[in-house]
Amino acid sequence: MNLSNKHILDMTTLTREDIGLILETAESMKEVSERPIKKVPTLRGKTVVLFFHEPSTRTKISFDVAAKRMSADSIGLAASGSSIVKGETLIDTVKNLEAMRPDIVVLRHSAAGAPHMLAKVLEKPAIINAGDGMHAHPTQALLDLMTIKEKKEKIEGLKVSIIGDIQHSRVARSNIIGLNKMGAQVVVSGPGTMIPKGIEKMGARVVIDADEAVKGADVVMMLRIQKERQKGFMFPTEREYARLYGLSPRRLGLAGDDVLVMHPGPINRGVEISPEAADGPWSIILDQVTNGVAVRMAILYLVAGGA
Amino acid sequence: MNLSNKHILDMTTLTREDIGLILETAESMKEVSERPIKKVPTLRGKTVVLFFHEPSTRTKISFDVAAKRMSADSIGLAASGSSIVKGETLIDTVKNLEAMRPDIVVLRHSAAGAPHMLAKVLEKPAIINAGDGMHAHPTQALLDLMTIKEKKEKIEGLKVSIIGDIQHSRVARSNIIGLNKMGAQVVVSGPGTMIPKGIEKMGARVVIDADEAVKGADVVMMLRIQKERQKGFMFPTEREYARLYGLSPRRLGLAGDDVLVMHPGPINRGVEISPEAADGPWSIILDQVTNGVAVRMAILYLVAGGA
Amino acid sequence: MNLSNKHILDMTTLTREDIGLILETAESMKEVSERPIKKVPTLRGKTVVLFFHEPSTRTKISFDVAAKRMSADSIGLAASGSSIVKGETLIDTVKNLEAMRPDIVVLRHSAAGAPHMLAKVLEKPAIINAGDGMHAHPTQALLDLMTIKEKKEKIEGLKVSIIGDIQHSRVARSNIIGLNKMGAQVVVSGPGTMIPKGIEKMGARVVIDADEAVKGADVVMMLRIQKERQKGFMFPTEREYARLYGLSPRRLGLAGDDVLVMHPGPINRGVEISPEAADGPWSIILDQVTNGVAVRMAILYLVAGGA
C-alpha cells in the first residue's frame, strides 16, 4: 500500500487512508527506538536533506534521528550556511540540491507555501513540509494523532480543545484538519485577537472562554505563545494571558478525569501551561516527542517508496 | 593507476594524465548517484573532515554527499564553531585535526595558499582545496571539465569564453589552467577593472567586448558577480553590468547553435545571466552540480589511495 | 567489568578502578584510529547526542570522530540552533531529547553543575560531561592521565605542575583530582588573582613563583589564558604574563631532562607558552589530542554498557 501523494505538504493533501497508513506504519516503527540496537537497514543508500530556515530543536533532531535509525544518509543545511545569504532564490537553491540526487528534501521555511512551490518545480525528490510559516506542520499533526490514538485507542468522536494563539499557529491549522478527517470534534479557544476569522470553516468551533473550552474535553492541546513571532501586543501581559488562557490545575479540573494534556513544545512554563499541568500524569507531551521520531520514520519510509 | 600528487591543491599541480584519471573515475562514479541505493562501501572507515571557513551550499554539501555515498565518515567543522574564534592559528587548528587521524581534510579558506601551507605542515592526511581566496578552486574546474567533455565528447580544440569578474574569480583561474592543459582555447571578457594584468600568460586571450567573446564560442562560462567580495565599485550599476556583460538571449545568439552555457553558481538572475540563458536547453548549469558530486567522489577515492 | 557509575560527571565520582578501566580500554581502542579502516561496529544502533552550548573544536570533533569510529549515530545540537533561543529551560530541552531515546548525551554547558542536574532528571541516557563552566572537564583529565601514563609508564609519584589561570580552569580542577587519585603530586602556580582560595584542600600545593613550580617537575601542564572568559584585568599585559608565567625555553630548562610539556589547547603562542616549548620534543600536546579520541571511544563504549 502506498500514499496517494508523493509529497507530505499539508493535512489537506492526505486522505483518511493515508493518515491511517502513516499511523499504522509509525506504530510498527516505534519499537525500533526501544531496542538496544536502534537501527534498521530500510533506507540504506537513500539521501535525506534537512533544509531548515528557522531555528528548531525538536523537529530537525527528530528527523535526523529518524533518518539515521533507518540507515539513510542525512545531510543538514541551514539557511545561514547556505547560498541564500549570497542572494540565490529558494528555487535555485533547491534545484541545485535536486541535482545532487537526494531522495527526500525536508523543508522548514518561514514562507507559507514554500514546500508546495518546491514540489511543483522539483522532478524527483519527495518534499516533506517540516513547517511553513503560519500555514502547516503536517508531521506535528500526525504525531499528535498517533499519540491521541495510542492513549485513547481511537480518535473518532473525541472532543479536542486547542487553546492559545490559533492565528499564528501552523500546528493548530494542521491539527484542526487532521482531527476533523479522523472524526474528532475540535474546539478552539484564545483571545479574540488570536482567533482567525473563518476558522469555523476549517471545522473548529470557537469558544472564547477557556473554562468552557476545557469542560468535558478528552484532550486539551495548549499552544505555545510564540514571543519571537509576535510584533505588537496581542494580549496585555504574560500574567494576564496565563490567568485567562493558561492551563492551571483549576482549569484542568474542569475537564474529565481521563483528560490528556498535549503541547507541541517548546513550552513556556507559567505562561500558557502551569508546571502542574505540564508534568502531571495527564501530560502526554513527551509521548508526543517519542512518537515524533516514529511518525517521521514512517513518513521517510513511505515517501521513499514503502515496502 | 594513481595521481602524481598526494594532494589536490590547484590545477597547476595536476598533470594532464591526472585530470584524465579523475574524469574517467568520475564518469564511472556518476551512476552510483542514479541508483535506488546510492551507496558503495569504498571509503568505509575513512574519516573526511570538511573544514569550511566561508559560507558555501553547493561545495560543502557536494563533498558531504560524495563522502557519505562512499561510506566515509564525514565530520563538519565551520570556522564559527571552531577554535579560530579563540585565537588559535590555522596551522595549530589543523595539526590538532591531524592528531585525530583523518584521512582527508577538505579545506575552504579565504586566504589564498592556505591549503598549500597545510599540505606542507601535515604529514598524513591528504588535503583537498575547496576554494582558497581568489586563488584556486580545482574541484570546480574539474567538474566543469567533466561536464564539457560529457556534452561535447571532447575538450581539445573547443573555444571557451569566460565572462565576468576574472580578477576575483578562483573559478576562472582554475578553469583557464585546466582548459589549457586539456587543449581548449580560452577567452576571457569583462570590464577592464576586472581583468587581471598578465592573465594572457596563464593562457587566456582577453577580449573586452562581450559580444566579441561570445561569437563562435562552443562554451560560455558566466561568472557570478560576488557582491560580498567587492568593496568599492568596479562597475556603475547592476543594470549597466547586465547590459555590457550579462548573458542576454541576444548576446547568446551570437554563439553557435550548439553553444553550452555554464555558471559555477549561485547565479544572480538578471545580473550576469538572464533567466532565458540560465534555464534554456543550452544551459548545463545543473549538470555541473550533478557532476560535482561525481568528481568529488572520484577525488576522495583517488586521494584515499585508489584501487 | 563496568564503571561504578552510569554517568561521567566529574573526576570525583570516578574511583581509582574506574580510571584504570577507562585508561586500559582507551589504550586498546587507540589502535583503531591507526588502522587503514578506522571503524568498529561496537556501537552500531546507539544514538549519541552531542549537545554543545559553547564553541569547541577539539572536544566536539573528538567526540564526533570517536562516536563514528564506533559506528554510533552521532547527532549534533548547538545552543544557537536549539529551543534554548525560544526560552525553553535546559531540563525541558533535555527531557525532550530523552524522549527521542538517545543512549548517551554529551553535554558542554557554561553553567557549572548542568550535567549533574541532567543526570538527576533523566532516566535512561548516560550523561557525559564535556565541560561545565569552571567546574569540571573529566574527559580532558582522563586523556591527560592516559598521555602521562603512556609516556612515563606510570602516574604514581610523578610531580606535575599546572601553571596559569587555575581559578577559571575546569581542566585544572579535574586534573588535580585525577592526578591525586592516581598518586601524583600536584603543584599549581599562577598570579595570586588566579589561584582559588582553598585549592590546597583539593590536593594541590601552591607555588606562586613559576620557576619554583617548574623546577624538578616531571610534567608541566600549561593552561590557556582564556581571554574570552575574563572580564576585567587579572594581569597587566600579555607580555608581562608571558614573562612571569609563560613557558619559555629558559624556564623549561629548570625542569628535568625528561620533562613533558602539556596543554589542553587551543594554545596562545607567545602568551602562556613559547613556540619552542610548544613544538619541541618534550611537547606531548598533539599526543593529548590523539589520545582524546581513544579516551572518548572508551568512555562511549563503557557508558553504553561495555562488553
Query: In this complex, is the C-beta atom of C177 within 8 Å of any C-beta atom belonging to chain A?
Result: no
Nearest Cα residue in chain A from B53: A81
> Which of A43, A77, A92, A105 best tests the B interface by mutation, with the highest count of B CBs <10 A?
A92
Question: In 3D, which of A139, A100, A106, C96 has the Cα closest to residue B293?
Answer: A100
Domains and CATH numbers, chain B: 16-136+289-303 (3.40.50.1370), 138-285 (3.40.50.1370)
Kindly report, residue by residue over A200-243, the tens digit of the pLDDT: 999 999 999 999 999 999 999 999 997 655 555 566 788 899 99
pLDDT tens digits, C216-226 = 999 999 999 97
Q: For residue C103, what are the contacts with CB-CB under 8 A and spacing of at least 6?
A: A38, C46, C47, C48, C72, C125, C126, C304
Instruction: Please report which confidence band the pLDDT of residue C79 belongs to, taking 50, 70 and 90 as the band edges.
Output: low
User: How far is the alpha carbon of B96 from chain C, nearest alpha carbon, in Å?
Assistant: 6
pLDDT score of B86: 60
Q: Which residues of chain B make contact with C48, given a CB cutoff of 8 A?
A: none
C265/B73 CB distance under 8 A: no
Please answer yes or no on whether A265 and C85 come within 8 Å at the CB atom: no
B12 touches chain C (CB under 8 A): no
Query: Rounded to an integer, what distance in angstroms lies between the CA atom of residue C100 and that of residue C66?
Result: 21
Chain A positions touching C84 (Cβ under 8 A) are 57
Alpha helices in chain A (DSSP H): 16-30, 58-69, 90-99, 114-121, 138-152, 170-181, 210-214, 238-245, 249-252, 275-279, 285-303
CB contact under 8 A, B87 and C268: yes
Per-residue model confidence (pLDDT) at position B147: 98
pLDDT at C82 over 70: no
Using a CB-CB cut-off of 8 Å, the residues of chain C touching B85 are 55, 228
Looking at the partner chain, which of B34, B227, B265 has a beta carbon nearest the beta carbon of A96? B265
Give tens-digit pLDDT for C159-207: 999 999 999 999 999 999 999 999 999 999 999 999 999 999 999 999 9
- B266: nearest CB among A47, A92, A99: A92
Full-model pTM:
0.95
Chain B residues within 8 A of C226 when measuring between CB atoms: 86
pLDDT at C88: 79
Q: Is A95 on the interface with C (CB under 8 A)?
A: no
pLDDT digits (tens, 9 = 90+) for B185-199: 999 999 999 999 999
Task: Give the pLDDT of residue C235.
Answer: 67
Q: Is A229 in the C-facing interface, judged by CB distances under 8 Å?
A: no
With an 8 Å Cβ cutoff, are A101 and B38 in contact?
yes
Does the pLDDT value for residue C108 go beyond 90? yes
Chains in contact with C, where contact means 3 or more Cβ–Cβ distances below 8 Å, are A, B
Mean pLDDT of C127-145: 97
Please, which pLDDT band fits residue C66 given cuts at 50, 70 and 90? very high
Q: Which of B75, B96, B98 sits opposite C58 (nearest CB)?
A: B96
pLDDT at C185: 98
How many of the other CB atoms lie within 10 Å of CB of A199?
A: 18
Q: Tell me the per-residue pLDDT of B73-132, one tens digit each, with 9 for 90 and over.
A: 999 987 664 555 566 788 999 999 999 999 999 999 999 999 999 999 999 999 999 999
Cβ of B46 within 8 Å of Cβ of C38? The answer is yes
Q: Is C293 in contact with B100 (Cβ distance < 8 A)?
A: yes
Nearest to C99 among A64, A78, A286 (CB): A286
Can you list the residues of chain A whose pLDDT is less than 50? Answer: 81
Tell me which chain B residues have a C-beta less than 8 angstroms from the C-beta of C55.
80-83, 85-86
Distance (Å) from the alpha carbon of A201 to chain C's nearest alpha carbon:
32
Q: Strands (DSSP E) along B23-132, which ranges?
A: 47-52, 73-78, 104-109, 126-132
* Cβ proximity of A210 and A236 under 8 Å: no
For residue A225, how many C-alpha atoms fall within 13 Å in the half-sphere facing its CB?
24
CA distance C159 to C184: 6
Cβ distance C101 to A290 less than 8 Å, yes or no, reads yes
Count residue pairs from B and C with Cβ separation < 8 A.
Answer: 91
Rounded CA separation C271/B87 (Å): 12
The pLDDT value recorded for residue C86 is 60
Q: Do A87 and B227 touch (CB under 8 A)?
A: yes
Interface contact C227, partner B, CB < 8 A: yes
CA distance C23 to A8: 49
Q: Are strands A260-262 and A185-189 parallel, antiparallel or unpaired?
A: unpaired
pLDDT score recorded for residue A115: 96
Q: Which has more confidence, B86 or B280? A: B280
Asked whether C288 and C11 are in contact (CB, 8 A), the reply is no
C-alpha–C-alpha distance, residues C240 and C232, integer Å = 16
Q: Is C45 on the interface with A (CB under 8 A)?
A: yes
Taking the CA of residue B33 and the nearest CA in chain A, the distance in Å comes to: 6
- Asked whether the predicted pLDDT for residue C147 surpasses 90, the reply is yes
Q: Cβ C266–B92 below 8 Å, yes or no?
A: yes
C72 touching B, CB under 8 A?
Answer: no
Contact C246, C273 (CB under 8 A): yes
CB contact under 8 A, B55 and A80: yes
- For the segment B141-161, the average pLDDT, to the nearest whole number, is 98
Residue C273, φ and ψ in degrees, nearest 5: -145, 135
Instruction: Dump pLDDT digits (tens) for B37-69.
Output: 999 999 999 999 999 987 777 899 999 999 999
**Yes or no, beta carbons of A99 and B289 under 8 Å apart:** yes
**Chains with at least 3 CB pairs less than 8 angstroms from chain A:** B, C
Place of cell 576575483: B168
Residues of chain B found within 8 Å of residue A77, distances taken between Cβ atoms: 57, 61
The residue of B57, B64, B238 whose CB has the most chain A CBs within 10 angstroms, and thus the best one to mutate to test that interface, is B57
Q: Do C286 and B99 touch (CB under 8 A)?
A: yes
**Contact present, A269 and C95 (Cβ < 8 Å):** no
Number of Cβ atoms within 10 Å of the Cβ of C153? 7
- Interface contact B101-C60, CB threshold 8 A: no
Share of chain C above pLDDT 70, in %: 93
